[in-house]
Amino acid sequence: MAVIEIKDLRYSFGQGETRQEVLHGITADFSRGEITIIAGPSGSGKTTLLKLIAGLRTIQTGSIVIDGQALESSTQKQLVAVRRKIGFIFQSHHLIGSLDVTQNVMMPLTFDPKMTASKAKERALEILHEVDLSEHVNKKPEQLSGGQKQRVAIARALVHRPTIILADEPTASLDGPTGREVVNHLQRLSKEFGNTIVMVTHDNRILDVADHLVTLVDGKLSENAPEVGSDF
């Protein structure tokens, strides 16, 4: 079952003579409980596509339907409801240095009026256990390794129990073994919780975790995916 449906999506930056189309008629479906990796070189439009799926950019041409809700015709209230179904993992972890690990993971829950502080902390500790960080819950980000910081970011993205996880180059700043550790956690959690994960990357070392692999080059999506370990 498709949780994300994209049809003839086009997106451009600039106006007039400076206008440049970066996505050229993208059509794709992403299924529940699967990891889809969108591979391709830097500058190919991967992050732009991810931000459009997340509702962080306005759709110009084409359509995106998230769990039955068409983003291009959504009200602001409907867009907020859609975004609550999404967890976003950035290239940089964006952790708050003055907060400890547990407090960082609790942050998305502070916007839920039905969530008490004690319940939010309990939920944060549960998901930190899932990503093997139980021994680091009281540490500040500066006390963690790069891989641990990214796992905190994963926990933060999952803490409000989204149905969709969007990951933008989650291994970009990590070495090979650490990057592998991070995506293995994502793979395990996707199967355990049934999340739909869409991950964009130019890291060809992690392509094997994908249930579905496509390539985005020069704004066009291709089913002719690269082989693991190949160069883009």
pLDDT tens column, 148-191:
998 899 899 989 889 999 999 888 878 888 888 888 888 888 88
Instruction: Tell me if 40 sits within 8 A of 231, measured CB to CB.
Output: no
- Give the domain ranges of the chain: 2-222
Would you say 27 and 222 are in contact if contact means Cβ atoms under 8 Å apart? no
How far apart, in whole angstroms, are the C-alpha atoms of residue 157 and residue 107? 10
Copy the structure tokens of residue 73: 């015709």
- 204 touches 228 (CB < 8 A): yes
**Residue 231's pLDDT band (cuts 50, 70, 90):** very low
Instruction: Write the CA distances from 168 to 6, 89, 138, 209, integer angstroms.
Output: 18, 6, 27, 15
Phi, psi of 25 (to 5 degrees): 65, 50
CA distance 68 to 65: 6
Residues 9-32 have a mean pLDDT of: 92
Each residue of 44-59: pLDDT tens digit? 889 999 999 999 899 9
pLDDT digit string, tens, across residues 188-200: 888 888 889 999 9
**What does the block give as tokens for 69?**
């809700």
Summarised one tens digit per residue, pLDDT across range 92-117 is: 778 999 999 999 999 989 888 888 99
Domain 2-222 part of CATH 3.40.50.300: yes
Provide mean pLDDT across the span 136-144. 95
Q: What percent of the chain has pLDDT over 90?
A: 49
The rounded mean pLDDT for the chain is 88
Among 72, 38, 40, smallest CA distance to 57 is for 72
- Dig out the tokens for 104 from the structure: 């960082």
